[in-house]
């Protein structure tokens, strides 16, 4: 499931480029979340501005910290599931080995599914247990993307200078404005084609103007040159970091400080992903695991690449997210390492039992359905051939028991004077002697 979350960054950008906010998903789910997050961002920046720290970059970092802390319960649950998987997966592998080569048998497939489900239930979780946390986070991540891609729309203090230039001067309503902007700035530095008839879209596009683009704009509307210059200065002041990086502009391959944003975005995500995976062993024979391993390397590279096509503020958010996530994950991992896997399993089962008790179900019933145990699987899992040998030994032993039962039954019904009757008499004598 992790790989789907890692792919989210690509899917989010595709949605934005292809539907430009008109998609039903955005209108019904993403926009409301983005509006809420945008208001929080606005309040945070207003507070910082009141104490003389009116910088968007600092606001982004603090905002990211607040969001990650709010999502801490999901992070904890995800980490717990990772620890549980270290116990669950050996049992799942044993079941898969048991039904190897029977994929075409519907009855065997159903039995395998039943036994797999029972193992997860035994540990108080489900096959989708590790996915729900990621699915919950996904719309939030999409909303966050929208907020940071359209920062001046959500932060009132940043939007105001643009309104001073466009709305109060009447430039936006002037004849030929959209045609001029469309022909001169058909593609803004954010690489997103803007609807120049829409005020908000125009503000978003202009927020990523380079110095040369601002000069071109000022020359065309020369009668408002002073107002444009004054407000441009305010915009740049809020968008520029201590290192001289304008987070509203797209990083280039030029040798300047801005190039660090995409590089750090890729490196920080790689580190965060590795920490998130913990000490999980990756089975190379498992196609899903192999795919996840590939995505661990591929996605940081893609993040760095995408960071060269979006405003640096979005790349800064990715860096802040990865760094904060790494710190939180290290703390959570240390806690669970200290707690121990057995204690985690114990607590999870206890929680499961309480839930079942409320539903009037018997925990013992579920435990019986789990046909494998951690203790015997941990040693068996190392060798699939050994699993098959142990299964064969079990089958042979079951057959012997069956034969004994059948022979005992035969002794009791044997003909008088037969060898079977005499054998039965010996068996009965032995039973009485033992007693």
As a whole number, mean pLDDT of residues 344-371 equals 64
**What is residue 4's predicted lDDT score, i.e. its pLDDT?**
36
Tell me the mean pLDDT in the region 113-136. Answer: 74
Q: How far apart are CA 426 and CA 435, in angstroms?
A: 14
- Which tops the pLDDT comparison, 307 or 290? 307
Q: What is the DSSP letter of 415?
A: P
The two three-digit tokens of residue 230, written as one number: 């004054």
d(CA 339, CA 362): 28
The answer on pLDDT for 37 being more than 90 is: yes
Q: CA-CA distance, 108 to 99, in Å (whole number)?
A: 7
Q: Give the range among 160-164, 227-231, 408-412 with minimum mean pLDDT.
A: 408-412
Question: Which of 16-30, 180-194, 406-420 is the most confident on average?
Answer: 180-194
Q: CA geometry: angle at 274 spanning 268 and 279, to 5°?
A: 155
Residue ranges in 99-131 assigned as alpha helix (H): 106-122
Q: What percent of the chain has pLDDT over 70?
A: 68
> What 3-state class would DSSP assign to 293?
helix
**CB distance 310 to 248 below 8 Å:** no
Domain ranges of the chain: 2-150+251-342, 155-239, 383-434
| Least confident interval from 62-71, 79-88, 189-198, 297-306 | 189-198
CA 302 – CA 296 distance, rounded (Å): 11
Q: What is the pLDDT of residue 389?
A: 54
Would you say residue 417 has pLDDT above 80?
no
Predicted pLDDT of residue 203: 94
The yes-or-no verdict on residue 34 having pLDDT over 60 is yes
Take residue 383 and report the two structure tokens written for it.
């060798």
- What helix, strand, coil percent values describe the chain, rounded to 5? 75, 0, 25
**CA pseudo-torsion sign 97, 103, 105, 106:** positive
Residue 245 has φ and ψ, to the nearest 5°, of -90, 125
Q: Which two tokens stand for residue 10?
A: 């690509």
3-state secondary structure of 307: coil
């Amino acid at each position: 499931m992790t790989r789907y979350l890692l792919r989210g960054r690509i899917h989010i950008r595709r949605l934005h480029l292809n539907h430009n906010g008109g998609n039903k998903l955005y209108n019904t789910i993403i926009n409301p979340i983005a509006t809420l997050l945008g208001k929080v961002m606005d309040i945070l920046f207003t507070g910082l501005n009141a104490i003389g720290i009116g910088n968007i970059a600092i606001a982004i970092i603090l905002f990211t910290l607040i969001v990650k802390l709010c999502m801490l319960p999901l992070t904890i649950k995800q980490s717990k599931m990772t620890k549980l998987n270290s116990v669950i997966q050996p049992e799942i592998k044993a079941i898969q080995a048991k039904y190897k080569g029977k994929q075409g048998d519907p009855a065997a497939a159903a039995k395998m599914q039943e036994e797999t489900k029972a193992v997860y239930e035994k540990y108080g979780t489900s096959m989708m247990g590790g996915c729900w946390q990621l699915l919950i986070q996904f719309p939030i991540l999409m909303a966050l993307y929208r907020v940071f891609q359209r920062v001046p729309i959500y932060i009132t203090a940043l939007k105001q200078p643009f309104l001073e230039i466009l709305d109060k001067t009447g430039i936006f309503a002037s004849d030929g404005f959209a045609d001029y902007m469309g022909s001169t700035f058909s593609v803004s530095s954010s690489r997103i084609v803007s609807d120049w008839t829409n005020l908000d879209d125009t503000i978003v596009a202009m927020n990523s103007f380079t110095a040369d683009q601002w000069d071109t704009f000022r020359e065309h509307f020369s009668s408002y040159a002073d107002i444009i210059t004054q407000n441009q200065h305010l915009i740049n002041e809020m968008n520029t970091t201590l290192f001289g990086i304008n987070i509203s502009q797209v990083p280039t391959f030029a040798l300047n400080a801005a190039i660090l944003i995409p590089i750090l975005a890729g490196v920080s995500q790689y580190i965060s992903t590795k920490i998130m995976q913990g000490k999980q062993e990756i089975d190379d024979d498992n196609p899903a695991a192999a795919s996840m391993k590939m995505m661990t390397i591929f996605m940081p590279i893609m993040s760095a690449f995408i960071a060269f096509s979006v405003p640096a503020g979005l790349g800064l958010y990715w860096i802040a997210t990865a760094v904060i996530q790494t710190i939180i994950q290290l703390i959570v991992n240390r806690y669970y390492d200290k707690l121990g896997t057995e204690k985690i399993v114990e607590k999870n089962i206890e929680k499961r039992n309480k839930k079942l008790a409320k539903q009037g179900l018997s925990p013992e019933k579920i435990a019986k359905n789990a046909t494998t145990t951690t203790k015997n699987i941990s040693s068996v899992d190392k060798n699939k051939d050994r699993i098959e040998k142990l299964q064969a030994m079990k089958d042979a032993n079951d057959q012997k028991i069956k034969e004994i039962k059948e022979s005992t039954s035969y002794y009791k019904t044997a003909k008088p004077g037969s060898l079977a009757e005499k054998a039965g008499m010996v068996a009965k004598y032995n039973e009485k002697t033992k007693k």
